[in-house]
Amino acid sequence: MELKPNQIVCGDCIEILNGVDEPVADLIFADPPFNIGYKYDKYHDKVEKKNYIDWTKDWMLACCKALKPSGSFYIAIGDDYAANVKVIADEIGLTMRNWIIWHYTFGQQTKAKFARAHTHIFYFVKDKENYTFNVDAIRVFSDRQKRYKDKRANPEGKLPDDVWDEHPRLCGTFDEREGWHPCQMPESLLARIIRVSSNCGDCILDPFNGSGTTTVVAHKMKRNYIGIEISKQYVKEAQKRIQQSEEFPVEGEGEINWTERLDAELKWLYHENKMSTEKLSDNKYLLGLFTLKFNNRIGFVNNPCRPEDIKARLTKLRKSAKLGPLRGHVEDK
């Protein structure tokens, strides 16, 4: 079977991926149900432990069949089965490049133990000598730049480490939240993964498409996408989300024609660099570098955004609550 790009297919990912003739994906991001009793439309998220582990091996093998030899494979998983995922990956010959912790605070309260505030994200490759890792595309401001004003700091910034705390989990009141799916991932997290482990025109596959975060971000970033999802209802809603992410103009100011796409990129950069709009506005040097990063990402060469455009737009998005809370900062007023 040929799995064509730029579609969200309804069905069981194991059956579909086992049926592909040729590897199609340059990058796979899988966020399966965690077997913790979440309420999904179709899937029952509480099965016998052994069945869940066997099933995990089945879908991981099916994904490997669809992954190109130079492909990368990211898997998000909770505490209960993280060790099993790692053991299965070793058995099937994947190489782990990072074991990332996505740390979020969500306001959950516990009564008798520490609140769980993280998810594991494994980063595997098929071939440890041949994979895409776009180092310069994901650099963020270093403490030398932000805090110590150290002249020796690399102006390009530093690579993020393997604890990611800058992507807030989406709560019900966030502008980005779709509301019809119980566990939507933040776009900024997927944007980092897609940016570093793929190039424009590559094919990104999500076997558990859910609300469609991976596919929508891939589409925004000019990659091809394939989503697989067992619920017809989620497929329909995710397709709508893709249509809404087209480059439609949004109300702007100044000379830039602001679009949904430009706003998304601005928001992702803001979270990745963890600098409040006030701090950024006060620091000309970093605002200049931030503007440069933005122009590079968007591909604005002849008519680039100016620092004052970025400052005005960020302030506007912040005032209309479209930026979401910034990790480690009291909200800007």
Ligand X SMILES: C[S@@+](CC[C@H](N)C(=O)[O-])C[C@H]1O[C@@H](n2cnc3c(N)ncnc32)[C@H](O)[C@@H]1O
Smallest distance, Å, CB 100 to ligand X?
Answer: 15
Smallest distance, Å, CB 270 to ligand X?
Answer: 20
What does the DSSP assignment read for 178-246?
A: -SSSTTPPPHHHHHHHHHHH--TT-EEEESS-TT-HHHHHHHHTT-EEEEEES-HHHHHHHHHHHHHTS
Instruction: Pick the piece of the chain touching ligand X (CB under 6 A) from 91-99, 108-116, 151-159, 181-189.
Output: 181-189
Q: Does 33 bind ligand X (CB under 6 A)?
A: yes
What does the DSSP assignment read for 159-174?
A: ---SEE-SS----TTS
Report the SS3 class of residue 110. Answer: coil
Q: Does 230 bind ligand X (CB under 6 A)?
A: yes
Residue with Cβ nearer ligand X (185 or 203): 185
Residue with Cβ nearer ligand X (241 or 261): 241
> Using CA atoms, how far apart are residues 81 and 198, in angstroms rounded to an integer?
27
H helix and E strand count, the chain: 11, 8
Smallest distance, Å, CB 182 to ligand X?
Answer: 8
Cα dihedral 210, 213, 216, 219 sign: negative
Smallest distance, Å, CB 131 to ligand X?
Answer: 22
Instruction: Pick the piece of the chain touching ligand X (CB under 6 A) from 91-99, 182-190, 272-280, 304-312.
Output: 182-190
Residue nearest to ligand X (CB): 210
Residue with Cβ nearer ligand X (72 or 145): 72
Q: Which residues contact 234 (CB under 8 A, 6 or more apart)?
A: 41, 180, 181, 209, 210, 211, 212
Q: Does 225 bind ligand X (CB under 6 A)?
A: no
Smallest distance, Å, CB 43 to ligand X?
Answer: 4
Smallest distance, Å, CB 311 to ligand X?
Answer: 31
Task: Give the strand order in the sheet containing 95-103.
Answer: 7-10, 224-229, 203-206, 25-30, 67-77, 118-125, 95-103, 163-164
Smallest distance, Å, CB 229 to ligand X?
Answer: 5
Q: Does 44 bind ligand X (CB under 6 A)?
A: no
Q: Site for ligand X (CB under 6 A): which residue of 8, 13, 140, 287?
A: 13
Q: Does 234 bind ligand X (CB under 6 A)?
A: yes
Smallest distance, Å, CB 211 to ligand X?
Answer: 3
Q: Site for ligand X (CB under 6 A): which residue of 229, 263, 272, 309?
A: 229
Q: Does 184 bind ligand X (CB under 6 A)?
A: yes
Q: Does 12 bind ligand X (CB under 6 A)?
A: yes
Number of residues that bind ligand X (CB under 6 A): 23
Other CB atoms within 10 A of residue 39 CB: 8
> Using CA atoms, how far apart are residues 156 and 132, in angstroms rounded to an integer?
19
Q: Does 187 bind ligand X (CB under 6 A)?
A: no
Going by C-alpha positions, the residue among 227, 166, 167 that lies closest to residue 29 is 227
**What's the DSSP call for residue 147?**
T
Other CB atoms within 10 A of residue 313 CB: 21
Q: Does 307 bind ligand X (CB under 6 A)?
A: no
Q: Does 215 bind ligand X (CB under 6 A)?
A: no
Q: Does 124 bind ligand X (CB under 6 A)?
A: no
Q: Site for ligand X (CB under 6 A): which residue of 183, 194, 264, 286?
A: 183
Cβ atoms 235, 209 nearer than 8 A: yes
Q: Site for ligand X (CB under 6 A): which residue of 119, 198, 211, 281?
A: 211
| Residues near ligand X, by CB under 6 A | 12-14, 31-33, 40, 42-43, 181, 183-185, 207-208, 210-211, 213, 228-231, 234
